[in-house]
């Protein structure tokens, strides 16, 4: 298990979101200790009809079954994967780096989420006029009211999240998810308007814990006058939903 002291951003996530570590894990889903991954499968994404790669074939079958367009979003460059779970007593737990902790008051979501619901998010730091501010971006859901939704269509999962967090602002907010074609088309827009650095575009598939890189462009260019940070008045969380 990675030491928290080795990663300053992980330490900040713990300070902002947690009160203390929980050792009473009875009734807590084992998925709370699972860590998310970002894969690179540029040539096995289900878009090639004759490809026999198992991953490509499975994605192709899922797409044909659902009849849905692919969903994608941006991936923050500096992030900490965070799981949030509300139990049957409306207590909120936080999963970070395989550990389970009690949520601090500002991260409690019992008033927003039904009992026995688990969501996936990124902890990031946004650049604002007041300096760097913490933010939790929710991007997927794995369990809803005690039932696993991990194998359901990504668009259906996002619609569940919209029902809970569509107009929520503050520390915890819902990240924009849209059609993959729209996300890739607007990659440069994201890099200029999102108040933190963007690494790439990722696809949301039928496993919430596994994101797949779709598009990666190096934003660390050294052109004259280049600023890796967006304007201070950027408001991605208010307007991004209109892109799709």
User: CA 31, 99, 195 angle in degrees (round to 5)?
Assistant: 90
Domain count, the chain: 1
- Domain of 222, CATH number, reads 3.30.470.30
Per-residue model confidence (pLDDT) at position 218? 47
pLDDT at 242: 35
Q: What's residue 60's pLDDT?
A: 58
Has residue 212 been placed in a domain?
yes
CA distances from 90 to 20, 37, 133 (A): 17, 28, 27
* Residue 146 placed within a domain: yes
Domain hosting residue 206, numbered range: 4-23+33-242
Q: Is residue 120, in this structure, part of any structural domain at all?
A: yes
In this structure, what are the phi and psi dihedrals at residue 201, rounded to the nearest 5 degrees?
-100, 135
Closest CA to 165 of 186, 190, 136, 133: 136
Per-residue pLDDT of the chain (244 residues; tens, 9 = 90+): 455 657 899 999 999 999 988 877 778 999 999 988 888 765 555 555 656 666 666 665 655 444 456 789 999 999 999 999 999 999 999 999 999 999 999 999 999 999 999 999 999 999 988 899 999 999 999 999 999 998 888 999 999 999 999 988 889 999 999 988 888 888 889 988 999 999 999 988 878 998 988 855 444 444 555 454 444 444 444 434 333 3
Is the residue at 79 inside a domain? yes
Q: Is residue 144 part of a domain?
A: yes
User: Which residues 6+ apart lie within 8 Å of 103 measured at CB?
Assistant: 17, 18, 19, 84, 91, 92, 93, 94, 109
Q: What is the pLDDT of residue 78?
A: 95
- Answer whether residue 220 is part of any domain: yes
pTM beyond 0.95: the answer is no
With respect to residue 42, please indicate whether it lies within any of the assigned structural domains: yes
Per-residue pLDDT at 4: 61
Looking at residue 238, what is its pLDDT? 40
The pLDDT assigned to 205 comes to 82
Please report whether residue 28 resides in a domain: no
């Amino acid at each position: 298990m990675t030491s928290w002291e080795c990663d300053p951003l992980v330490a900040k996530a713990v300070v902002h979101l947690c009160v203390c570590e929980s050792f009473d894990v009875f009734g807590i889903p084992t998925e709370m200790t699972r860590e998310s991954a970002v894969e690179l499968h540029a040539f096995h994404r289900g878009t090639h009809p004759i490809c026999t790669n198992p991953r490509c074939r499975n994605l192709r079958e899922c797409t044909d079954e659902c009849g849905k367009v692919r969903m994608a979003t941006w991936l923050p460059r500096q992030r900490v994967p965070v799981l949030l779970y509300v139990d049957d007593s409306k207590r909120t737990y936080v999963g970070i780096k395989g550990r389970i902790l009690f949520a601090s008051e500002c991260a409690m979501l019992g008033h927003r989420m039904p009992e026995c619901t688990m969501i996936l998010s990124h902890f990031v730091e946004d650049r604002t006029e007041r300096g760097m501010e913490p933010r939790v971006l929710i991007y997927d859901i794995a369990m809803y009211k005690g039932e696993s939704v991990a194998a359901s269509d990504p668009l259906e999962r996002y619609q569940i999240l919209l029902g809970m967090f569509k107009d929520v602002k503050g520390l915890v907010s819902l990240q924009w998810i849209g059609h993959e074609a729209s996300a890739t088309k607007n990659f440069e827009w994201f890099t200029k308007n999102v108040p933190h650095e963007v690494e790439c575009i990722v696809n949301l598939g039928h496993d919430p814990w596994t994101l797949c890189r779709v598009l990666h462009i190096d934003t660390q260019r050294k052109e004259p006058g280049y600023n890796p940070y967006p304007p201070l008045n950027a408001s991605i969380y208010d307007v991004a939903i209109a892109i799709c």
